[in-house]
Amino acid sequence: FVRLSAHLPQITSMAHVANCFLDFQDRAKWDKQVDGFRVLHNLAANDILYYVIHAPPLSDRDFIVVHTLFRHEQQKGLLF
């Protein structure tokens, strides 16, 4: 498992952050390490995704990932 966090003081909209991360057609334009996004299954903000990561000098790696989106009950953030 990987746990990532970020502090984005100039971002006022969590919806904007979520859109940047979850809009795979747009993300393919700016995220050059990740390629071939495919949503294999989607149900109620739960996705099964396939993609390839390019991380030289390592060889390319492909992943199948369960991707879930949760909103904090007090509206303090999102969990991907």
23 pLDDT band, cuts 50/70/90, is confident
Are 42 and 58 a contacting pair, CB within 8 Å? no
pLDDT value for 29: 81
Report how far apart, in Å, the C-alpha atoms of 37 and of each of 21, 25, 34 are.
Answer: 12, 8, 8
pLDDT at 11 over 80: no
pLDDT value for 78: 58
pTM of the model: 0.60
